[in-house]
Amino acid sequence: MRRPVIAGNWKMHKTRAETREFFDAFKPLISNINHCEIIVAPPFTSLSVAADSARGSSVRIAAQDMHWEREGAFTGAISAAMIVDAGCRAVILGHSERRRYFGETDATVNRKLKAALAAKLQPIVCVGETLDEREAGRTERVLESQFIGASDTLTPEEFSRILLAYEPVWAIGTGRTATPETASESHAYLRRLAEQSFGEESASGLRILYGGSVRPDNIASLMAQREIDGALVGGASLDPQTFFSILNFKQRSS
């Protein structure tokens, strides 16, 4: 049984004061939630405030990116050791916005992934096709090259510590969610790739989150799919009540 994970990616939102306000409202809401793991990924400047604010709750804090080197002359970069020091337990890697706007490649995702695992962080590795790629019938090829490019050099033990996020680029911030069936097909394909690379046991334990316009009104149908093990939520994770409505999917659907 794969335990669901609901993760919020705040992207470039919230000051430290706004982060505190979020957790003041959010913590009481989730005090009885135990059917899923909860992760919140604030921007770098709010990481330590988020970690302090989340103390005593089940929320784990993630960074949205990191550099692969431990330290050095890399202006503007933040290392795994630094985000661990700020209170992080996880890190998002290879988000499509990093690929699109900041030159992230499968090769840099792979280096970051190795460094994150060495620092005992849980990586959330993002993959997903653009609309052009989907319309050209290239979805599987894109997912394969992103999956293999990122995970190529991992051992099965290392692989067992990662979370994978399928985020079709055309569904991010567009209000156009993948149907549960479309998302499920891609998840099943990614699981087959995992099986080919790391074996049946690793593949069946792998948790694959869906991301792209997840909202309170579509989470239940997504989570009803056997292949969907959680969600990576952008815009709808910024408001404590809305994010709570999403992670409370189980109670709402029963």
- To ligand 13P, the closest distance from the beta carbon of 207 in angstroms equals 15
Residues 81-110 that bind ligand 13P (CB under 6 A): 95
Strand-pair category, 207-211 with 163-166: parallel
Residue 173 contacts ligand 13P per CB under 6 A = yes
CA atoms of 244 and 69, how far apart (whole Å): 35
> How many residues in the shown chain lie near ligand 13P by CB under 6 A?
14
In the complex, the smallest distance separating the C-beta of residue 233 from ligand 13P, rounded to whole angstroms, is: 5
Residue 151 binds ligand 13P, judged by CB under 6 A: no
- Shortest approach of ligand 13P to residue 225 CB, angstroms? 17
Phi-psi domain of 137 (left: phi exceeds 0; alpha: psi -120 through 50; beta: other): left
Helix (H) and strand (E) counts for the chain? 13, 8
If one asks whether residue 214 binds ligand 13P (CB under 6 A), the answer comes out as yes
The window from 68-76, 141-149, 212-220, 222-230 that contacts ligand 13P (CB under 6 A) reads 212-220
> Residue holding tokens 């699109």?
100
**Of the two residues 154 and 231, which places its CB atom closer to ligand 13P in the complex?**
231
Is 13 a residue of the active site?
no
Which stretch, 25-33, 136-144, 165-173, 183-191, contacts ligand 13P (CB under 6 A)? 165-173
- 231: its two tokens: 């969600």
Report d(CA 27, CA 124) in Å as an integer: 23
Which of 137-145's residues contact partners 24+ apart within 8 Å by CB, and which partners?
A: 139/186, 140/189, 143/186, 143/189, 143/190, 143/193, 144/193, 145/106
Contact status: 30 vs ligand 13P (CB under 6 A):
no
Looking at residue 67, the DSSP 8-state letter turns out to be B
Segment interacting with ligand 13P, rule: CB under 6 A, options 107-115, 131-139, 216-224, 234-242: 234-242
- The single residue among 143, 235, 246, 248 that binds ligand 13P, judged by CB under 6 A, is 235
Quick check: 9 binds ligand 13P (CB under 6 A)? yes
Which of 129, 133, 167, 229 is close enough to bind ligand 13P by CB under 6 A?
Answer: 167
Identify the residue among 211, 218, 223, 246 touching ligand 13P (CB under 6 A). 211
- Is 42 a binding residue for ligand 13P by CB under 6 A? The answer is no
233 binds ligand 13P (CB under 6 A): yes
Residue 232 half-sphere exposure, CB side, CA atoms within 13 Å? 33
Contact 50, 40 (CB under 8 A): yes
Strands (E), the chain: 5-9, 37-41, 59-63, 90-93, 122-127, 163-166, 207-211, 230-233
- Tell me, yes or no, if 95 is annotated catalytic: yes
Alpha helices in 86-178 (DSSP H): 96-102, 106-118, 131-135, 139-151, 156-159
In the bound state with ligand 13P, the residue whose beta carbon lies nearer, of 127 and 198, is: 127
Active-site hit among 97, 104, 129, 167: 167
Q: Catalytic site residues?
A: 95, 167
